[in-house]
Structure 1
Amino acid sequence: FSQSLHITLHFSLLPLGSSGDVVLTQTPGSLPVTLGQPASISCRASQSLKDSDGDSLLNWYLQTPGQSPRPLIYVASYRYSGVPDRFSGSGSGTDFTLRISRVEAEDVGVYYCMQAAHDPPTVIQPRTQTSLGG
């Protein structure tokens, strides 16, 4: 017997100011995961997110039902204080990945990436349906 979480993410971009703005593409749109098993989400940017120091200014957030977005990862791979080490970020330039080594029930919610390398900052605005099945 295993419990499965089914996370369905529907993405739409926030209005962009000009054709030069960075577009983020996040996949998959639908992510079925199993408790205790790994999961990963990818984010691709239309332009490099590296700053003058070579750091990629890409952040990951989790929003759970009824809560404000919780920052998980900054500068592509650094965990914010208090974020469990089952969360990890990787990537550089235009391609990034968020990994969860072992999914827990509290991980259910909306995951999204945000870039801060170019003005205006760009974020994926998702609408999410979640369900827990066994």
Structure 2
Amino acid sequence: MTTEDTEILLIKNMTLICVLIWTLLCCCFTESRGQITVTQPGAVSSALGGSVTINCRTSQDVYYSTYHRLAWYHKRDGETHKLLIYWASTRASGIPGRFTGSGSNSAFTLTISGVQAEDAAVYYCQSFHVINSQYVFTQ
């Protein structure tokens, strides 16, 4: 198994370890050892068929080797977290083309074009880092 395969497997399994804290104005995730934070807006909306952009900012660059180690998930009521985007811009298997991830270093966006009713969900970004030779995931 290559390093890339291992990292992809780790990203796909992150949905099981998400611990999320929401505030009225922003969503902050903190990993205590590295003091890494990820910040998102509190709420965004769009008309059906419209386009919406969700921003995500990390307190440290997430670029490593040739990848931006950032993933996007969503969670619908009554369902588990679903991986949408990994490596900042790669769509996970089965994710429609209307979901687009972009950005670099510490500023990222998820754009949904042609918004559909089924897109109503809570959206999360998550970064991971290598600190002292250990993987550190924002939660």
Name the TM-score, length of structure 1 as normaliser. 0.77
Q: How many residues align?
A: 112
Q: Does 1:17 align with 2:45?
A: no
1:122 is matched with which residue? 138
Q: Which runs of 5+ in 2 are unaligned?
A: 1-22
1:109 is matched with which residue? 121
CA distance in 2, matches of 1:89, 1:36: 18
CA distance in 1, matches of 2:53, 2:82: 17
Mark the CA change 1:25 to 1:104 in structure 2 (over 3 Å): closer, same or farther.
same
Structure (1/2) with the larger strand percentage: 1
Question: Per chain length, whose mean CA-contact separation is higher, i.e. which structure has more relative contact order (CA < 8 Å, sep 6+)?
Answer: 1
Q: Hey, which bits of structure 1, 4+ residues long, moved more than 6 A?
A: none
Structure (1/2) with the larger helix percentage: 2
Q: Which runs of 5+ in 1 are unaligned?
A: 1-8, 124-134
2:43 is matched with which residue? 30
Q: Deviations over 1:84-124 (max 9, x none)?
A: 0000000111000000011100000110000012443003x
RMSD between aligned alpha carbons? 1.7
Is the 8 Å Cα contact of residues 56 and 125 (structure 2) preserved in structure 1? yes
Name the TM-score, length of structure 2 as normaliser. 0.74
